Amino acid sequence: MSILSEYITEPKIAYFSMEIGLRDDMPTYSGGLGILAGDTVKSAADLNLPFVAVTLISRKGFFKQDINKKGCQIELPAEWEPSMLMNTATEKATVMIEGRPVYIQAWIYFVESLRGWKVPVIFLDTDLPENSPEDRGLTDYLYGGDKSYRIKQEVILGIGGVRMLNKLGFQIKKYHMNEGHAAFLILELLQEYKKDIEEVWDESYIWDYETVKELCVFTTHTPVESGHDKFSYDLYNEVIGDYFPEKILRKLAGEEYLNMTLLGFNLSQYINGVAKKHRMISQGMFPGYLINAITNGVHSFTWTSESFKKIYDKYLPGWANEPEIFVRVGVIPDKELWASHMEAKKKLIDYINSLSDVDMDYDTLTIGYARRMTTYKRADLLFTDPDRLKNIGTGKIQIVYSGKAHPKDTEGKKMIEKIFSLIQKFKGKIKITFIKNYNMETALKIISGVDVWLNTPLKPLEASGTSGMKAAHNGVVNFSVLDGWWIEGHIEGFTGWSIGSAPAQIGPENNINKIDANDLYEKLENIIIPTYYQNRTTWIRMMQNAIGKNAYYFNSHRMMRRYVTEAYIR
Ligand X SMILES: *Cc1c(COP(=O)(O)O)cnc(C)c1O
Residue type, 467: S
Asked if 556 and 292 touch (Cβ cutoff 8 Å), the reply is: no
- Asked if 476 is part of the footprint of ligand X (rule: CB under 6 A), the reply reads no
Cα–Cα dist 493/505, whole Å: 20
Cα–Cα dist 14/83, whole Å: 23
H runs (alpha helix) in 328-409: 334-355, 386-393
Nearer Cβ to ligand X (340/466):
466
Nearer Cβ to ligand X (433/464):
464
Nearer Cβ to ligand X (264/403):
403
Span near ligand X by CB under 6 A; candidates 178-186, 211-219, 248-256, 437-445: 437-445
Phi-psi region of 378 (alpha: psi -120 to 50; beta: other; left: phi over 0): left
Span near ligand X by CB under 6 A; candidates 212-220, 248-256, 275-283, 436-444: 436-444
Shortest spacing between CB 391 and ligand X, in angstroms: 28
φ, ψ (nearest 5 deg) of residue 140: -85, -55
Strand 230-231 versus strand 431-435 pairing type: unpaired
Nearer Cβ to ligand X (175/438):
438
Site for ligand X in 50-89 (CB under 6 A): none
- Asked if 144 is part of the footprint of ligand X (rule: CB under 6 A), the reply reads no
Shortest spacing between CB 486 and ligand X, in angstroms: 10
Handedness of CA 140, 412, 354, 338 (dihedral sign): negative
x/- letters, 175..194, toward ligand X (CB under 6 A): --------------------
Three-state SS string across 227-274, please?
HCCEECHHHHHHHHHHHCCHHHHHHHHCCCCEEHHHHHHHCCCEEEEC
> Considering only residues 143, 438, 521, 532, which one is a binding residue for ligand X as defined by CB under 6 A?
438
Nearer Cβ to ligand X (295/467):
467
- Asked if 371 is part of the footprint of ligand X (rule: CB under 6 A), the reply reads yes
- Asked if 174 is part of the footprint of ligand X (rule: CB under 6 A), the reply reads no
Proportion of the chain in helix, strand, coil states, percent, rounded to 5: 45, 20, 35
> Considering only residues 186, 435, 443, 461, which one is a binding residue for ligand X as defined by CB under 6 A?
443
Cα–Cα dist 190/57, whole Å: 26
- Asked if 222 is part of the footprint of ligand X (rule: CB under 6 A), the reply reads no
Nearer Cβ to ligand X (144/158):
144
Cα–Cα dist 18/540, whole Å: 40
- Asked if 35 is part of the footprint of ligand X (rule: CB under 6 A), the reply reads yes
Greatest alpha-carbon pair distance for the chain in Å reads: 82
Closest CA to 53 of 37, 64, 68, 69: 37
Nearer Cβ to ligand X (153/467):
467
DSSP class per residue in 423-458: HHHTTTTSEEEEESS--HHHHHHHHHHSSEEEE-PP
Span near ligand X by CB under 6 A; candidates 219-227, 255-263, 282-290, 466-474: 466-474
Shortest spacing between CB 497 and ligand X, in angstroms: 17
| Alpha-carbon distance values, 448 to 64, 66, 152, 337, 366 (Å) | 23, 23, 39, 13, 11
Residues near 397 by beta carbon (within 8 Å), at least 6 away in sequence: 364, 365, 366, 367, 430, 524, 529
> Considering only residues 14, 22, 26, 31, which one is a binding residue for ligand X as defined by CB under 6 A?
31
Span near ligand X by CB under 6 A; candidates 185-193, 355-363, 435-443, 488-496: 435-443
Shortest spacing between CB 61 and ligand X, in angstroms: 12
> Considering only residues 32, 264, 323, 449, which one is a binding residue for ligand X as defined by CB under 6 A?
32
- Asked if 405 is part of the footprint of ligand X (rule: CB under 6 A), the reply reads no
Span near ligand X by CB under 6 A; candidates 41-49, 141-149, 164-172, 459-467: 459-467
Cα–Cα dist 416/397, whole Å: 20
DSSP conformation class of 298: B
Nearer Cβ to ligand X (423/440):
440
Span near ligand X by CB under 6 A; candidates 52-60, 139-147, 213-221, 433-441: 433-441
Asked if 477 and 496 touch (Cβ cutoff 8 Å), the reply is: yes
Nearer Cβ to ligand X (52/293):
293
Nearer Cβ to ligand X (33/517):
33
Shortest spacing between CB 380 and ligand X, in angstroms: 16
Cα–Cα dist 117/119, whole Å: 7
Nearer Cβ to ligand X (366/467):
467
DSSP class per residue in 34-51: HHHHHHHHHHHHHTT--E
- Asked if 439 is part of the footprint of ligand X (rule: CB under 6 A), the reply reads yes
- Asked if 467 is part of the footprint of ligand X (rule: CB under 6 A), the reply reads yes
- Asked if 466 is part of the footprint of ligand X (rule: CB under 6 A), the reply reads yes
x/- letters, 518..557, toward ligand X (CB under 6 A): ----------------------------------------
Shortest spacing between CB 112 and ligand X, in angstroms: 21
- Asked if 401 is part of the footprint of ligand X (rule: CB under 6 A), the reply reads no
Phi-psi region of 416 (alpha: psi -120 to 50; beta: other; left: phi over 0): alpha
Span near ligand X by CB under 6 A; candidates 230-238, 384-392, 438-446, 500-508: 438-446
Closest CA to 41 of 89, 146, 136, 112: 112
> Considering only residues 45, 156, 405, 440, which one is a binding residue for ligand X as defined by CB under 6 A?
440
Q: Rule CB under 6 A: which residues touch ligand X?
A: 31-32, 35, 371-372, 438-440, 443, 465-467, 470
